[in-house]
Amino acid sequence: MKKIALWALALMMVLPARADEGMWLLPLLEKMNGKALKEAGCRLTPQEIYNINGSSLKDAIVHFGGGCTAEIISDEGLLVTNHHCGYSSIQGLSTPEHNYLMDGWWAKTRAEELKVPGLTVTFLRSMQDVTDAYDKAEDKAAYVKDAVAAAEKANPGCRAFVTSFYNKNYWYLIITRVYKDVRFVGAPPASIGKFGGETDNWMWPRHTGDFSMFRVYDDNGKPLRPARHLKISLRDLSEGDYTMILGYPGRTQRFQTADELKQMIEVNRIRIDARTVRQQIMWEAMCADPDVQLKYADKYASSANGWKKWQGEELSFGKLDIIGREQRKEAAFADWYNAKKPRAEKYGTALEDISAAVAGRDEAQKAITLLTEAPLRIELVNMAMYLARFGPEDAMEFYKDYVEEIDRKEAVALLKFYRERAQKENYPKDLGDGSDFATMEIEAYVDYLFETSALTSREKLEAALAEPDGLKNVQENDPAVKLRNALIAEARKLYPAVEGVREQYERGSKAFAAGLLEWEKGKPSYPDANSTMRLTYGHVLPYSPQDAVLYQYYTTLDGVMQKEDPSNPEFIVPEKLKKLWEAKDYGRYAAADGRLRTCFLTNNDITGGNSGSPVMDADGNLIGLAFDGNWESMSSDVMFEPQLQRCICVDIHYVLFLVDKFGGASHLIKEMDFAK
């Protein structure tokens, strides 16, 4: 192992890792975190967490669908993840007659489990540091290709890839095993799995039963026999209890400069404003019609999650002075490297390179974001893209969840939004009807677009394709295709400004991260999240968001009833759940005080992608599922806030109560192993 391993050995003896902050690399747990894990309360060794030569905890954790985490909880491939992670799959399987998303559903037998098209789960086999070999290779692309080919040959049935860490200063070869047969086993209704909706999203106190269950099948169509599955603990949690999370955090920005962060916030404001326009139209239509609610549930949720997070991030940046703190850190960093000539020669241009690159791409980056978040979000335009990319047969799936009336309203609103915000030089040209985007009547153009296009319904498209040279005519003459082409042409004019500074930016970014590692080499270090498996460890803790307010570390089912609002679709409580609550019929899932705990808080360091990750106790037993961060620390992807940052988790007691008592799926409980 290269430099990082050398300094890690010496420095971990000086400063133990903080038990709250950090998304730690698994191969370095022994060197960086071995002592700190034990001091924090972990009763497992690093080898019991990550071991490529034998079974370990990491073998029970999967990358779910590429964007979430899940964990295996039986020796027959049963897995659990968040409800919002399974949301798209459940929605895709649902119909008005069998609305699994809104009504909830549990397979009573294996034969009833529903295969989810396109859904995969990925197990991690190993991570190997290949930095030395990568750095020495003259042709780095050829090295990566050969390393991947050799790894896949040595590990039949597996996939391999090489990815970077610390802003391309270190490189790892990662070997995985992907399973493509994943079947839906069950989930509570959305009124439980998404209780509180966007109002409660990122907020505490929380009362959401955010879980769903699937099963992994092997290549022979049999339930997978995993190398490891998690046991479940039903012990009540107490404040200060040790917790750890293994999962796949997506992206953080803790190695970015103040200039980059400022640009990020400005770009996100464009996204917020554009999505506000589109989401309002979707929300009104969803509230008015249950069929529309089903069709647009996933589209709305996917859009709204980032929309609310970016608003919280913007607010936190101001309240916590994130930009100012980063600027002060960079000033101190500059003082450090300027103190010695060799350091100044290595790192002295890093901040300047990044600043120049950020400035050079700024206008184009914002213009591209405006394009992608406004006119390129029109569904008819997306259909034109699907048709070009996938062909008619696959593109027909588009219509399952499409409502022309909603898209018409969105098209008018988004085109107006774009015209108001965009520079005139970025207006689309040659829309196909002879109109000038700067002066045209947008409502009239949208009427023409939807009345003339063959892409507004499956029936119209099939009829157009049945004509001689039908596909060619649609792809060349349809007004939706012409709008798509005009918008893409504007985007392509902007990309060179971004690509032109890429080399300068990457040079500065790499030097900046390398300099920070050398400057702060007395501290344990972890790289930015990049959708590779990481460990975070901490404790069950409450927090105080403001003066005179203290949030308890857990919530109960009582709070669900207190929040109930039958007039608000986000706070509807199913009648069966109310009856179970009234009878206090919680079975063995009740806490010592007789109440049913729903969610709890830890100070584990997570981000998007950790959704569905197992929250485990000191022995590696499952005690809950991570599903959210808290509103007061929305800047956590940039800076960890020890006093404020919390991970919101659904309690395993609530999960199993909903499976067993509410869902009547006690046969699944019998599959699970419980810690004594």
Q: How far does CA 193 lie from the centroid of its chain?
A: 17
Place of tokens 């049963």: 78
Q: Is the Cβ–Cβ distance between 29 and 50 less than 8 Å?
A: yes
Percent of the chain whose pLDDT exceeds 90: 93
**Which run of H or E residues covers position 672?**
none
**Sign (positive/negative) of CA torsion 320, 323, 328, 334?**
positive
Q: Is the Cβ–Cβ distance between 511 and 504 less than 8 Å?
A: no
The pLDDT value recorded for residue 17 is 39
Average pLDDT over residues 667-676: 97
Torsion angle, alpha carbons of 346, 352, 353, 356, to 10: -170
Q: Which of 204, 57, 234 is nearest to 649 (CA)?
A: 204
* Cα(247)–Cα(322) distance, integer angstroms: 26
Q: Is the Cβ–Cβ distance between 480 and 381 less than 8 Å?
A: yes
Q: What is the pLDDT of residues 181-199, one digit of tens each?
A: 999 999 999 999 999 999 9
Average pLDDT over residues 624-648: 96
Lowest mean pLDDT among 269-283, 425-439, 574-588: 425-439
Q: Is the Cβ–Cβ distance between 620 and 44 less than 8 Å?
A: yes
* Cα(516)–Cα(409) distance, integer angstroms: 49
Q: By three-state DSSP, how is residue 549 classified?
A: strand
Cα atoms in the Cβ-side hemisphere of radius 13 Å centred on 154: 12
Residues forming the active site: 84, 210, 611
* Cα(654)–Cα(650) distance, integer angstroms: 7
- List 246's β-bridge partners, or say none: 535
pLDDT at 308 over 70: yes
Q: What is the pLDDT of residues 383-414, one digit of tens each?
A: 999 998 888 888 888 999 999 999 999 999 99
* Cα(248)–Cα(652) distance, integer angstroms: 20
pLDDT at 295 over 90: yes
- In the chain, where are the structural domains located? 330-503
The pLDDT value recorded for residue 522 is 77
Long-range pairs of 86-90 with CB within 8 A, sequence gap ≥ 24? 86/184, 86/187, 86/212, 86/214, 87/193, 87/194, 87/212, 87/297, 87/298, 87/301, 88/298, 88/302, 89/65, 89/116, 89/119, 89/184, 89/214, 90/184, 90/187, 90/212
* Cα(572)–Cα(621) distance, integer angstroms: 32
The pLDDT value recorded for residue 40 is 96
The pLDDT value recorded for residue 8 is 34
The pLDDT value recorded for residue 432 is 83
* Cα(555)–Cα(112) distance, integer angstroms: 34
The pLDDT value recorded for residue 521 is 87
Q: What is the pLDDT of residues 107-157, one digit of tens each?
A: 999 999 999 999 999 999 999 999 999 999 999 999 999 999 999 999 999
The pLDDT value recorded for residue 2 is 39
Q: Is the Cβ–Cβ distance between 615 and 622 less than 8 Å?
A: yes
Average pLDDT over residues 36-52: 97
SS3 annotation, 481-507 = HHHHHHHHHHHHHHHHHHHCCHHHHHH
pLDDT at 348 over 50: yes
Torsion angle, alpha carbons of 23, 25, 31, 34, to 10: 50
Q: What is the mean pLDDT of the chain?
A: 95
Tell me the pairing of strands 24-25 and 534-539. antiparallel
The pLDDT value recorded for residue 104 is 98
* Cα(285)–Cα(282) distance, integer angstroms: 5
* Strand order from edge to edge, sheet including 597-602: 24-25, 534-539, 242-247, 614-616, 622-629, 647-651, 597-602, 554-556
* Cα(325)–Cα(303) distance, integer angstroms: 30
Indicate the pLDDT class of residue 433, thresholds 50, 70 and 90. Answer: confident
Q: What is the pLDDT of residues 204-253, one digit of tens each?
A: 999 999 999 999 999 999 999 999 999 999 999 999 999 999 999 999 99
Q: What is the pLDDT of residues 72-111, one digit of tens each?
A: 999 999 999 999 999 999 999 999 999 999 999 999 999 9
Q: Please give the angle made by the CA atoms of 38, 533 and 18, to the nearest 5 degrees.
A: 35
Indicate the pLDDT class of residue 18, thresholds 50, 70 and 90. Answer: very low
Average pLDDT over residues 567-596: 97
- Cβ-Cβ contacts under 8 Å for 406 (sequence gap 6 or more): 281, 282, 285, 292, 296
The pLDDT value recorded for residue 11 is 30
The pLDDT value recorded for residue 10 is 31
Q: Which of 657, 613, 612, 648 is nearest to 630 (CA)?
A: 648
Q: Is the Cβ–Cβ distance between 191 and 588 less than 8 Å?
A: no
pLDDT at 653 over 60: yes
Average pLDDT over residues 571-586: 98
Place of tokens 């698994």: 26
The pLDDT value recorded for residue 83 is 98
